[in-house]
Amino acid sequence: MSVVQPPEPIPGARLLFSLDPAVSHLNHGSFGAVPIGVQRAQQRLRDEMEANPLRFFTAGLVDRITHTRRHLAAFLGADPDGTALVPNATTGVAVVLQSLALKPGDEVLTTDHGYGAVALSIARECRRSGAVTRALRVPLEATDEEILQIVRTGLRPGRTRLFVVDQLTSPTARLLPVAAIAGVARENGVPILVDAAHAPGMLPATVQGIGADFWVGNLHKWAYAPRGTAVLVVAPPWRDRIEPLVVSWEQESGFPSRVEWQATMDYTPWLAAPVGVFTLRSLGLDRVRGHNAALAAYGQRVLGDALGVRPADLPDPGGPGVAMRIVPLPPGIATTLDAARDLRARIAERLAVEVAVNAWDGRGWLRVCGQVYNSAPEYERLAVSLPPLLAQR
């Protein structure tokens, strides 16, 4: 592995955010960070709503949501007529699951890299319907071709009713070849749902280029939208079957309006989301992506060195544009969900650093992200202070 150097900072980018300067925010991937300009745009929308709630909700709000949806769909390379705004990716997954009408004997297939809340949603729907769920084991170091072979072997045509796979995994920061996986699923007649929670804003791949039956992605992580902004994209054969989690007044309008309209929900995050995309484009989309990925790679190397991890043993995310990286923690540390949560909280409290800590495959993993408001010294300071904290166990 070549020597990793930090990228040049993007001038003025840190000033776009209202983050606490006393804390190193190295975990953008969990909840994102909303630029000040986007916050102000949303507040203006809230002011408009509170000045006359009846007018706000009844005078063209559906049309404003539709306009916003089309703008965001264009940014993602998705069909706007097959795109619905939803609060988050997990909600989109739940919508798909309850629309499938699963029954006893059906199976929902996943991988062991899946997001925990999605796994809980799948388990609940299987309990309700009598279906079962099964996870494919995918080694962290598996090549794309090896992953495709695992999928080919693991699919059960006629029984597997849905295959849920992450575009970029949350616990392991691994980019999976979802377009090729979707092709394998199609060959076997198995519908595929791509959980792309981290893709919008970070990854350049377009939704239509993947060819999934269902695709969900958050814009409140890497696309600078207010929290509560995500999309569910549905292929044409499935659109008439999609039902909302809650029925409201746009039910007879069909998809996507029947999913989007949830009566008195706060729609201001969605309406302000295009300002986040504008901010991203103003900084330079490729520039931001390159900076963030390079900074995350630098942070991984610095922390790996501090923990005694050989560069060759640092996981490769599988793509140069990934702005999340993981570092293995020493054996015996954060090997359970509760222990991982505890360690994350101790790092935040004692070191004033926000990171993600996950337990996966019997080992604890530290995940760091790169974002335009971060700088190389933040990772370097963590590299100095983390080993003594871990030694205190």
Q: Indicate if 171 and 61 belong to the same structural domain.
A: yes
Q: Which residues contact 338 (CB under 8 A, 6 or more apart)?
A: none
Give the mean model confidence (pLDDT) for residues 241-261. 96
State the pLDDT at residue 247.
95
State the pLDDT at residue 393.
67
Look at residue 184 and tell me if it is in a domain. yes
Task: Flag whether pLDDT at 1 surpasses 50.
Answer: no
Q: Indicate if 245 and 154 belong to the same structural domain.
A: yes
C-beta separation of 85 from 69 below 8 A:
yes
Q: Indicate if 28 and 43 belong to the same structural domain.
A: no
Give the mean model confidence (pLDDT) for residues 335-340. 97
State the pLDDT at residue 263.
85
Q: Indicate if 246 and 336 belong to the same structural domain.
A: no
Look at residue 243 and tell me if it is in a domain. yes
- Mean pLDDT, the chain, rounded, equals 96
Give the mean model confidence (pLDDT) for residues 162-186. 97
Four-CA torsion 359, 96, 251, 197, nearest 10 degrees = 40
Q: Global pTM?
A: 0.96
Look at residue 8 and tell me if it is in a domain. no
Q: Indicate if 187 and 117 belong to the same structural domain.
A: yes
Of 278, 294, 324, the position where a domain reaches its end is 278
Q: Indicate if 177 and 97 belong to the same structural domain.
A: yes
Q: Indicate if 223 and 288 belong to the same structural domain.
A: no
pLDDT range class, residue 81, cuts 50, 70, 90: very high
Q: Indicate if 111 and 214 belong to the same structural domain.
A: yes
| CATH code for the domain in which residue 120 is found | 3.40.640.10
C-beta separation of 333 from 390 below 8 A:
yes
pLDDT in tens, 102-153: 999 999 999 999 999 999 999 999 999 999 999 999 999 999 999 999 999 9
| CATH code for the domain in which residue 303 is found | 3.90.1150.10
CA atoms of 205 and 92, how far apart (whole Å): 20
State the pLDDT at residue 225.
98
Cβ-count burial 355-369 (b if 16+ within 10 Å, e if not): bbbbbbeebbbbbbb
Q: Indicate if 61 and 94 belong to the same structural domain.
A: yes
Least confident among 2-16, 60-74, 125-139, 265-279: 2-16
Amino acid at site 255: F
Domain count of the fold of the chain: 2
Q: Indicate if 249 and 312 belong to the same structural domain.
A: no
pLDDT in tens, 210-238: 999 999 999 999 999 999 999 999 999 99
- CA nearest 53: which of 229, 249, 267? 267
φ and ψ of 234, to 5 deg: -125, 135
C-beta separation of 223 from 201 below 8 A:
yes
Give the mean model confidence (pLDDT) for residues 245-261. 95
pLDDT in tens, 20-34: 999 999 999 999 999
Look at residue 113 and tell me if it is in a domain. yes
Task: Flag whether pLDDT at 3 surpasses 90.
Answer: no
pLDDT in tens, 277-327: 999 999 999 999 999 999 999 999 999 999 999 999 999 998 889 999 999
Q: Indicate if 181 and 316 belong to the same structural domain.
A: no
Q: Indicate if 228 and 296 belong to the same structural domain.
A: no
Look at residue 5 and tell me if it is in a domain. no
Q: Burial level of 153, CB count in 10 A (0-12/13-18/19+)?
A: exposed
C-beta separation of 101 from 248 below 8 A:
no
The whole domain housing 218 covers 38-278
